[in-house]
Amino acid sequence: MPNKTKERWMNYSYVISSKVRTKIIKALENKPLTPTQIAEKTDMNLSQVSHSLRDLTDENLIECMNPKKKKGRLYTLLEDGEWVLKKIEE
């Protein structure tokens, strides 16, 4: 199995092992969202969302589009995050 494919399956496993991470990936399906929007859309508390956003960013599944902002940060799926989402929805 090529390294990229193996890495993507490892990312998939990482995401589905947490309901919080799975909900966040699904929430970002259609457009970038702020942490508050994600919390509202997923019915989770903001601290859970913020912690998982850091984790998903560290795994290169999502990115903050405007990291210099203190408020209104927008998060979006990266290519590997989109691949994981596709596999979740299959």
CB of 50 closer than 8 Å to CB of 71 = no
Answering whether pTM is above 0.95, one says no
Three-state SS sequence of 22-56: HHHHHHCCCCCECHHHHHHHHCCCHHHHHHHHHHH
pLDDT, position 3: 86
The residues spanned by each domain of the chain are 3-89
Give me the CATH code for the 3-89 domain, please: 1.10.10.10
pLDDT, position 14: 96
Q: For residues 82 and 84, what is the distance between their CA atoms, to the nearest angstrom?
A: 5
* 72, two tokens: 């209104």
What 40-47 contacts at long range (C-beta under 8 Å, 24+ apart), as own/partner pairs, is 44/20
Mean pLDDT for each 10-residue chunk of the chain (90 residues)?
Answer: 88 96 97 97 95 96 93 95 96
